[in-house]
Amino acid sequence: MKIPARLQPLLDDGLIDRVVRQLMSGKEAAVFVVECMGHDGPEVRCAKVYKDAQQRSFRQAVDYTENRKTANTRDARAMKKGTAFGRKVREEAWQNAEVDALYRLAAAGVRVPKPYNFLEGVLLMELVVDPDGNAAPRLNDMAFTAEEARRHHRTLLDEVIRMLLAGVIHGDLSEFNVLMAADGPVIIDLPQAVDAAGNNHAKAMLERDVTNLANTFGRFAPELIGSRYGLEIWSHYESGTLVIGMPLTGRVDAPKGAVDLDTLIDEIDDARYEEEARRLRMASPP
């Protein structure tokens, strides 16, 4: 096959030995199956080649990049003005966010692909495989029994908790960015990952991530639909009682006493803001 130009530097540096085939292509990146020389001989890995973010809406990017640090004030000014240099800086920051999150989460034991290297806009990482050694399917291509759905749902709730304890929220978790590996679900696609403590929309994003999981597995275990695991997890996170594997009910008791109108208004504003961001994502061309 024709070698993509972005992969040539990795071939030249000996980080990959052969490009096997293209695995998929989306708006943000194209993924290739590659062969590399490991400690025990040739290994099959994948290379995520980032594309320019011309189709990504600015408002959507703002949701996720709030409070992300830039290298210097010049970069920050350029990003704010939307100059060509600023767009380049923003795109590099978007790519680096995934790389940083992947290394951070892998170190924390989260079920994500193992990262190996990042060079010239290409992320080299583990190829997640199914029981037959083929590239693992996405969650949206799978069907489960009710018991399997409950088990995988709980596994992913624990991974969401593990991520949160590491200070990270996926921000766009759904059936399209979870792979079903031979040993269970693996979370992928993290360029929109946010800092749990530094983003004003962190709570809303966590709740949306967890609701997406409930709705996905709720097709096979209907009792999951309408559950409130996201709010329950966030409540434990705020109170410092969040623990991996802790019992969860999916229910949250209504607070007693007077209603906090300021908090209620903030939650309504967050919901409106998230809905506007969702519509922008839906309106973006494929």
Q: Which of 130, 172, 183, 266 is catalytic?
A: 172
pLDDT the model gives residue 54: 58
Extended beta strands in 171-280, E state? 178-181, 184-187, 194-195
Q: Which of 63, 75, 189, 209 is catalytic?
A: 189
Structure tokens given for 80 = 């704010």
Domains of the chain, by residue range, sit at 54-112+132-283
pTM: 0.79
Class of domain 54-112+132-283: mainly alpha
pLDDT the model gives residue 55: 45
Q: Quick one: which H or E segment has residue 168?
A: strand 168-169
| Half-sphere exposure in the Cβ direction for 104 (13 Å, CA) | 19
pLDDT along the chain (286 residues), means of 10: 89 94 90 90 93 53 53 47 52 77 97 95 96 96 98 98 98 96 96 92 97 98 97 97 97 64 61 59 51
Dump the DSSP string for 69-122: --SSHHHHHHHHHT-HHHHHHHHHHHHHHHHHHHHHHHHTT-SSPPEEEEETTE
pLDDT the model gives residue 57: 42
pLDDT the model gives residue 159: 98
* Residue 269 annotated in active site: no
* Residue 253 annotated in active site: no
pLDDT the model gives residue 70: 46
Question: Whole-angstrom Cα distance, residue 177 to residue 138?
Answer: 7
Structure tokens given for 286 = 């494929």
